[in-house]
Amino acid sequence: MRKFIYAVFILLLVACNHGQRPSLGCDQITVLRAQVGAVVSPQEFQQWVSMTYQLPLDDISIAPAAIEVVRRGMVTEVIWQRDSLQYGAQFGERELLRVWVWGTGTSGDQLVACLGEPERYFAYSSGVESGLQRSVDLFFPDLGVLAHGWDYVRPSVRPLPSLGGGFGFENLVFMKPKPVEQIVNDFWGADSALAADILQRIKPWPGEWAKIEFPPYPPK
């Protein structure tokens, strides 16, 4: 069994805040990414979570994987929470396949400083009661990272503000490196037509946050 990393430090679970949400520091991202591919049982990983996050075992659940990820070979999920962040690790028969974090305030600039620039992105907007929702997915296929973030712009705000590096990414997923096409299929493939359409709309990274545009999606 591969020895997976036991952190030699206690994770700084609350780094700087972004919009009242705790962000993940690069050290935390690095530790979580390093767990992907570990040949370890859910019970052994549960012990690692307990040690690393200083949580009692009863606060770390082990459950069957959700039906939507079973088709990707995942059978078990370990879930825990710390400082308003929700974490999960998804396992195959023995190997840890994916780690996710929900509810972060990690900014785009923090991600780029830690991971480098993304290779591709998918940005779109949709009308909601409170105004306009703008969403961005960042793809780091060579690193096996997908980041998703969104914000709301009130109807009275015109012109629309351009995107900046402070834009928060609430959902982070760490997996093995894989092509963008496979990442899209993993996350949107339950609807093959939707996955194919998204692939047509993904764009190369423009080099600057302000150059990202938000066309309506689905298109009118």
Tens place of pLDDT per residue across the chain (220 aa):
433 333 322 333 333 333 468 889 999 999 999 999 999 999 999 999 999 999 999 999 999 887 667 666 788 999 999 989 999 999 988 899 999 999 999 999 999 999 999 999 999 998 777 788 999 999 999 999 999 999 988 888 878 888 999 999 999 999 999 999 999 998 898 888 999 999 999 999 999 999 999 998 887 6
Give whole-number Cα distances, 214 to 107, 126, 143, 182, 192, in Å.
18, 9, 25, 23, 23
- Give the DSSP letter string of 107-118: EHHHHHHHH---
Q: Which phi and psi (to 5°) does residue 181 adopt?
A: -60, -40
**DSSP 3-state of 47:** helix
Domain ranges for the chain: 17-211
**DSSP 3-state of 163:** coil
Question: What is the model's pTM?
Answer: 0.87
Give me the pLDDT at residue 220, please. 64
* Cα–Cα–Cα angle for 194, 74, 98, rounded to 5 degrees: 80
Pairwise CA distance, residues 185 & 181, whole Å: 6
What's the token pair of residue 24?
Answer: 């993940």
Residue 47 CA to its chain's centroid (Å): 23
